[in-house]
């Protein structure tokens, strides 16, 4: 079984760029749907990649663009809402998390059925839980559940959440990935903290004991690409974590050492952590942290003893990779990398 033409939603993003590059290196034909073609200008250099401007939230557009493809990969995700909402609001006012993590997977699954596509790979998140206090984790949990349900065969049994069917049972070949925080050149995690250390003599640290198990973006891309043709991955959910756990303050101390930066780290107690998140949430512009982030950080973002990893999973260590691209050289060479892969 081989899936040769793959349509990727979110292919111009951080993980998407790595995955599309990995698939192209393996000779796969990849269609990337993006709002703006210039967002994927590096991928355009790859000879087996087609970049298409499209409104991925329009079901008719999805069905049209999926036509002729063998598989679909959904990587779309947002970390902060610019349009917050509530699930009990009318559909148009349920917010960015619901639109991107619940409605988009539902539309993509239905468009796959219309286009005759059975193979569907989906990016969820470690900690995704339909009952979480965090809206992000809750929306990821509902989206994950509806994708999993689409992999079930048609039957009269009730759905997974409160008896309500989330999507029609399609008998699709679905695989779900649940990564911890993902690091790599251009990430929005380590690079954010690195910038703070460079700018501020003292950094207040909310939720300093929050636990993470960072995973390298290249390993995540490889896991997706490896599972694509693997029938043993059908119907499976894989947790993706790096080899080492860190608390947030330990990650900051690692960055200080790597960047050769001093400065004071100020661990905040729980109540001040919440207030700090609330204040940053009210700040105009890009959000450093929100109360929803605070709620999400109450759950350890690590792989437990019962976690199911992909076959042969051997993730690379943060401390072995990050020093090569952190600091002033953090993003150099990306365009050249794509040119080399395109043999140009």
Task: Answer yes or no: is pLDDT of 337 > 50.
Answer: no
Q: What distance in Å separates the CA atoms of residue 307 and residue 310, rounded to the nearest whole number? A: 10
- What average pLDDT does this structure show over 209-229? 97
pLDDT of residue 7: 98
pLDDT of residue 91: 52
pLDDT of residue 334: 42
Number of H helices, E strands in the chain: 12, 13
Is 296 a domain residue? no
- What average pLDDT does this structure show over 82-91? 57
Instruction: Say which residues have a Cβ less than 8 Å from residue 86's Cβ, sequence separation at least 6.
Output: 93, 94, 95
pLDDT of residue 169: 61
Domain carrying residue 38: 5-185+214-243+301-315+331-341
Is 249 a domain residue? no
Share of the chain above pLDDT 70, in %: 85
pLDDT of residue 280: 93
16-46 tens-digit pLDDT: 999 999 999 999 999 999 988 887 888 988 9
Q: What angle do CA 286, 290, 293 make, to 5 degrees?
A: 120
Residue 251: its H or E element: helix 248-259
Task: Answer yes or no: is pLDDT of 154 > 70.
Answer: no
Through-space distance between the first and last CA atoms of the chain, rounded to whole angstroms? 32
222-267 tens-digit pLDDT: 999 999 999 999 999 999 999 999 999 999 999 999 999 888 999 9
Instruction: Say which residues have a Cβ less than 8 Å from residue 31's Cβ, sequence separation at least 6.
Output: 5, 6, 7, 8, 49, 50, 52, 65, 69
Is 278 a domain residue? no
pLDDT of residue 84: 63
pLDDT of residue 62: 97
Is 320 a domain residue? no
pLDDT of residue 185: 93
CB burial class (10 A; 0-12, 13-18, 19+) of residue 5? middle
pLDDT of residue 294: 97
269-316 tens-digit pLDDT: 999 999 999 999 998 877 889 999 999 999 999 998 888 999 999 999
Q: What distance in Å separates the CA atoms of residue 87 and residue 91, rounded to the nearest whole number? A: 8
Is 238 a domain residue? yes
pLDDT, averaged across the chain: 88
- Count Cβ neighbours within 10 Å for each residue of 278-311 and write b for 16 or more, e otherwise: eebbeeeeebbbbbbbbbbbebbbbbeeebeebe
Is 74 a domain residue? yes
pLDDT of residue 60: 96
171-193 tens-digit pLDDT: 799 999 999 999 999 898 999 99
Is 254 a domain residue? no
Higher pLDDT, 77 or 159: 77
- What average pLDDT does this structure show over 321-334? 64
Q: How many domains does the chain have?
A: 1
- Place 170 in a pLDDT band, splitting at 50, 70 and 90: low
The CATH number of whichever domain residue 144 belongs to comes to 3.40.50.720
Q: What distance in Å separates the CA atoms of residue 237 and residue 246, rounded to the nearest whole number? A: 24
Q: What distance in Å separates the CA atoms of residue 129 and residue 137, rounded to the nearest whole number? A: 6
Is 326 a domain residue? no
- Place 153 in a pLDDT band, splitting at 50, 70 and 90: low
Inter-residue contact 29 to 256 (CB < 8 Å): no
Q: Where are the alpha helices (DSSP H) in 116-234?
A: 135-150, 190-199, 217-227
Q: Using alpha carbons, select from 26, 14, 6, 44 the residue that is nearest to residue 335.
A: 44
HSE (side-chain half, CA atoms, 13 Å) at 279: 8
Instruction: Tell me the two tokens of residue 210.
Output: 């929050």
The 3-state secondary structure of 41-83, one letter per residue: CCHHHCCCEEEEECCCCCHHHHHHHHCCCCEEEECCCCCCCCC
- What average pLDDT does this structure show over 67-88? 83
pLDDT of residue 1: 65
Q: What distance in Å separates the CA atoms of residue 71 and residue 32, rounded to the nearest whole number? A: 12
pLDDT of residue 341: 46
């Amino acid at each position: 079984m081989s899936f040769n033409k793959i349509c990727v939603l979110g292919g111009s993003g951080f993980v998407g760029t790595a995955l599309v590059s990995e698939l192209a290196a393996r000779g796969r034909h990849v269609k990337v749907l993006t709002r703006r073609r210039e967002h994927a200008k590096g991928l355009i250099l790859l000879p087996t990649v087609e970049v298409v401007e499209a409104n991925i939230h329009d079901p008719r557009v999805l069905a049209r663009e999926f036509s002729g493809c063998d598989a679909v990969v959904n990587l779309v995700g947002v970390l902060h809402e610019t349009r917050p909402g509530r699930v009990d609001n009318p559909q148009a006012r349920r917010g960015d998390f619901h639109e991107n993590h619940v409605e988009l997977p539902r539309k993509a699954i239905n468009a796959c059925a219309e286009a005759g596509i059975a193979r569907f790979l989906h990016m969820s998140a470690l900690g995704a839980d339909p009952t979480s206090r965090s809206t992000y984790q809750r929306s990821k949990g509902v989206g994950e559940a509806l994708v999993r349900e689409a992999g079930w065969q048609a039957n009269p049994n009730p759905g997974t959440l409160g008896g309500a069917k989330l999507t029609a049972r399609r008998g699709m070949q679905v695989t779900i990935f649940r990564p911890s925080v993902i690091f790599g050149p251009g990430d929005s995690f380590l690079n954010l903290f690195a910038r703070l250390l460079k700018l501020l003599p003292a950094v207040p640290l909310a939720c300093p004991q929050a636990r993470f198990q960072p995973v390298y973006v290249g390993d995540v891309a490889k896991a997706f690409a490896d599972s694509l043709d693997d029938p043993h991955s059908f119907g499976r959910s894989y947790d993706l974590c790096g080899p080492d756990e860190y608390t947030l303050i330990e990650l900051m101390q690692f960055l200080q050492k790597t960047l050769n930066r001093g400065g004071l780290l100020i661990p905040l107690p729980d109540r001040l952590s919440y207030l700090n998140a609330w204040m940053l949430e009210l700040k105009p512009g890009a959000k450093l942290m929100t109360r929803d982030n605070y709620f999400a950080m109450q759950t350890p973002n690590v792989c437990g003893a019962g976690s199911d990893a992909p076959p042969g999973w051997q993730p690379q260590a943060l401390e072995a990779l990050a020093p090569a691209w952190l600091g002033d050289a953090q993003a150099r060479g990306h365009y050249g990398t794509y040119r080399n892969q395109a043999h140009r």
